[in-house]
Structure 1
Amino acid sequence: MNNFIHQHQEFLPISINITDKKILIVGGGNAALTKVRSLHRFNVSITVIGIKIDPAFLEIDNIHIIHKSYDPSDLEGFFMVYACTDNKHTNEIIREHCHARSILVSLADNPRLSDFISPAIYKEGDMTVAVGSNGKNVKQSVMVRNNIKKNSGQDLEDGRGSEDNPDRIRVHLAKNPEKSNRNNKQKVIIAGFGPGDPGLMTLKTNQFLLEADVIFHDALLDAKFLEQYPARKIPVGKRCGQPHIRQNEINRLLVSAALRGEKVVRLKGGDPLIFGRAGEEIQHLTNNNIEVEIVPGITSVFAAAAQFRIPLTHRETGSSVAFCVGHNISNRSLPEADTLVFYMGASHQCEISKALIDQGWNRKTPVALISNVSNPNSKAVISQLDKLCKDQLLPDTPLLIIAGEVVKKMPEISGNIIQQEKRKMPLAI
């Protein structure tokens, strides 16, 4: 009989009065943090118990945090309990203790053993939308919730969507101040994801992604990795020769989302301030009186140098390094530096070669062509300047080109070689 129930588990969607009720969350990691953020929207007393507590909990107001290991006596007086430890056996023990005291309990890692589950919630004033999947497809529930949230921003006066008109949003928010940002701030986070390997993303960027309502992200980012964040994701990346959203449209979307009161993250590959057009977005947001915070990221050349052990400077062969865009070289002079790095130069290798040789660089200057930096399929081709016009040595994109004598300091170089990084990159934080 019990097996039948577990195999055909169903949850009745109901609304429970939790006003002034006490809710306990056991655990201090990411699962517990997600529950707290969801519950914090309601008038409820929240207590968190755990040995290791994520520092992000300290940024949430009006919750009780107790640093200790779980004990059955901790359950006394609580209306509901969330078992969110990283130990499955511990969560099941908490469930037994709760049942002995007739307390409703939810296990973060096992919906089938839970008395209730938390749906994906969108709350706006007294209106609450909850989307559930009987605990079987959380990602789909979040996606449906996000679609509802995305399409709910309607101008109440004329029935038309306000997302495409920042001026109309301002008028609407002025007349309806309760719909302005819950933190009373209109702000956009412009953050760097790093060169591709999610393990190189900063903890600060990760924290902002966890808190975001909407993420506008570049192409070439790990879309599967981004699925773990509850925010809705809007791709706004640009790829050479492919359809893309124009920069002025991206600017408009950022302003509109910020004015609606959403927590906005503009996620860029590499570092946002290096060839990422962040300057244009900062200027546009500032002109619209929206606060901007920048979170740096690891730019691709630093990751490439580390991955293939190429010193960008060396006291014997290179005391300076400069970053350049790899296209339209003939329209501008190149900087004078011992090492030059060219971004986005895949289809301009010959142009780069000719420009450097015309500027006086030795034809035999070593160059490294590196594609898909920090990813498992990353490759490095070591050649020399005058050969860039003879053959397309590495057609893969995105491509980074490093030119300078420092390339000779790369270990184990013997002629023109191709190296491929085969170790598996970490895909989670």
Structure 2
Amino acid sequence: MSHAAPKLNAFPVFLKVEGQVVAIVGEGEEALAKARLIGQSAAALRIVAAEPEAALAAFIAGHGAVHIRSAYAPEHIEGAAMVFAASGDAGLDARISADARRLGIPVNAVDRPDLCDFFTPALVNRAPVAVAIGTEGAGPVLAQMIRARVDRMLSPSLGPLAALAATFRDAAEKLLPKGAARRRFWNEFFAGAPARAMETGEVSLAHDAAAKLLAVDAPVRGHIALVGAGPGAEDLLTLRAQRLLMEADAIVHDALVPEAVVAMGRRDAERLPVGKRKGCHSKSQDEINALLVRLGREGRRVVRLKGGDPLVFGRAGEEMAALRQAGISYEVVPGVTAAFAAAADFELPLTLRGVTSSLVFTTGHDLKGGTLPDWARLAISGATVAVYMGRSVAADVAGRLIEAGLSPDTAVAIVENASLAGRRRFHGTLADLPSLSGRGDLSGPVMTIIGDAVAGANFDRSEPLAAHRHRHAAPAAQGVFS
């Protein structure tokens, strides 16, 4: 037995208001909120306020609204397309509502659903595109929360792109056969080269790219986005990364990228795990390069999802070189690298005025040679060093730095699973660092920060490393997670 879908009591419509009068009666915050909302449209605002509060008066002056500076009278709303009763006075709002209904004008009385003919939505404005979220007056806060989520999903350049699309509509219908060819054109228009050009403000380039797409048999060009997935927490993904994931046909991701981040992509996108994790099959870098080139040549929109930032120990250089050589279009989207997430978890200033003004990123794996790496010299001269390392190299890092002259008392902060709810924080000194190698209880990506600036961190939720200096477990190799 099927159940009927719930019915809407208020049906959403878009009312033409260009050049039409919208009247607002009120003097305070409620009237200002409605004025700001309607001010996003091309309506002519008429505001009835005998003694407007300062913010409302400033809005009226700044937006050229017609101001009727007197107590409300029915003639003030005559000829309006819509009326807002926003006086904050229950009796007056009821009078305004009754007058509007008598005059056949739709009315909204703020916070009084029984006096409303319509409800104002939470609005995402990408003119000429608009997304309106309504709850029939039941949950304004919920509507605003949904609005914020939708707003993050839509590129700021969507409005200009939609306006450009309107200028190509007739030509597309004339030159492209109905069906797959026309659909392909519009898909590529809104997710391909025209959209990317508009994203960077290159309007003429977007126009030229759209014109090229009109060639009837033009092959669909693939595009690869090398996207930083951040340190693990899905809400540290950038807005651009989220949009690209929603547009992708295929998501090529490292094993260390959490499922919650991969799941932010389109549900029907092909998922291709390629990353490196102990005990799992992984593709070589050459195989990954070849896969990206193949997908690009197939005309696919691909997100190559890398932990942290693609350009920090992410081997993006090799992938970009392969794509350039193959003539495949690509872009790079930065991500929050693990050093920044670990520092945030510790409330740790990576640079500190009067203490250190330089920062080094390293993996620590270059300590095996006879000569001291340049970053070690920088550490000795006062730089903060962020080490993307497995536990197995902790003793080498500490030993070589102490041997080179860095004080054994230099502060150290370590984070396992930076940014995630289950993260663990440890603190101590360089002399304590070798104990990390024997910590069999650490299975997640480990980030270590060394330097005098570490002393300014918040250690309230951190465990001292010294407590584990005499405990040993079998060392386990740990992958770098940038």
Partner AA of 1:180 in structure 2:
P
Q: Name which of 340, 350, 353 aligns with 2:395.
A: 350
Contact kept, 8 Å, 1:368 with 1:381, in 2: the verdict is yes
Structure 2 residue 5 is matched with structure 1 residue 5: no
* Shift of residue 201, structure 1, vs aligned partner: 0.6
Q: Per-residue displacement from partner, 1:241-297 (whole Å, max 9, x unpaired)?
A: 543111111101100001000111111111110000000100111011112211111
Equivalent in the alignment of 1:180 = 219
* Shift of residue 390, structure 1, vs aligned partner: 4.2
Partner AA of 2:228 in structure 1:
G
Change (3 A) 1:402 1:356: same
Structure 2 residue 240 is matched with structure 1 residue 200: no
Partner AA of 1:408 in structure 2:
A
* Shift of residue 370, structure 1, vs aligned partner: 0.9
Change (3 A) 1:373 1:88: farther
Equivalent in the alignment of 2:143 = none
SS of 1:244 mapped into structure 2: coil
Equivalent in the alignment of 2:351 = 313
* Shift of residue 235, structure 1, vs aligned partner: 1.0
- Written as runs of structure 1 = structure 2, the 5 A alignment for 1:186-265 is 186-230=222-266, 231-240=269-278, 242-265=280-303
SS of 2:304 mapped into structure 1: strand
* Structure 2 Cα separation of the partners of residues 319 and 225 of structure 1: 33
Task: Determine which structure has the larger strand proportion and give its number.
Answer: 1
* Structure 2 Cα separation of the partners of residues 240 and 54 of structure 1: 47
Task: Determine which structure has the larger helix proportion and give its number.
Answer: 2
Contact kept, 8 Å, 1:346 with 1:398, in 2: the verdict is no
- Which of the pair has the greater relative contact order for Cα pairs under 8 Å at 6+ separation? 1
- Which consecutive unaligned segments of at least 5 residues does structure 2 have? 5-10, 15-120, 139-178, 184-215, 466-482
Contact kept, 8 Å, 2:225 with 2:303, in 1: the verdict is yes
Q: Name which of 446, 456, 460 aligns with 1:399.
A: 446
SS of 1:52 mapped into structure 2: strand
Change (3 A) 1:5 1:376: same
SS of 2:275 mapped into structure 1: coil
Equivalent in the alignment of 2:123 = 52
Partner AA of 1:377 in structure 2:
G
Q: How much identity, in percent, do the aligned residues show?
A: 34
SS of 1:6 mapped into structure 2: coil
SS of 1:194 mapped into structure 2: coil
Change (3 A) 1:282 1:233: same
Contact kept, 8 Å, 2:391 with 2:446, in 1: the verdict is yes
Q: Name which of 307, 313, 320 aligns with 1:275.
A: 313
* Shift of residue 222, structure 1, vs aligned partner: 2.6
SS of 1:257 mapped into structure 2: helix
SS of 1:389 mapped into structure 2: helix
* Shift of residue 125, structure 1, vs aligned partner: 4.3
Equivalent in the alignment of 1:409 = 456
* Structure 1 Cα separation of the partners of residues 228 and 12 of structure 2: 32
Q: Name which of 380, 384, 393 aligns with 2:425.
A: 380
* Structure 2 Cα separation of the partners of residues 258 and 287 of structure 1: 12
- Give 1 or 2 for the bigger CA radius of gyration: 2
Contact kept, 8 Å, 2:366 with 2:373, in 1: the verdict is no
Change (3 A) 1:51 1:246: same
* Structure 2 Cα separation of the partners of residues 298 and 226 of structure 1: 16
Equivalent in the alignment of 1:160 = none
Structure 2 residue 326 is matched with structure 1 residue 288: yes
Q: Per-residue displacement from partner, 1:313-349 (whole Å, max 9, x unpaired)?
A: 1123222110001324223614114211110232211
Change (3 A) 1:54 1:330: farther
- Which consecutive unaligned segments of at least 5 residues does structure 1 have? 8-23, 28-49, 59-64, 70-84, 91-123, 129-176, 419-429
* Structure 2 Cα separation of the partners of residues 254 and 245 of structure 1: 12
Q: Name which of 377, 387, 409 aligns with 1:364.
A: 409
* Structure 2 Cα separation of the partners of residues 413 and 286 of structure 1: 48
* Shift of residue 360, structure 1, vs aligned partner: 1.2
Equivalent in the alignment of 1:133 = none
Contact kept, 8 Å, 1:330 with 1:355, in 2: the verdict is no
Q: Count matched residues.
A: 274
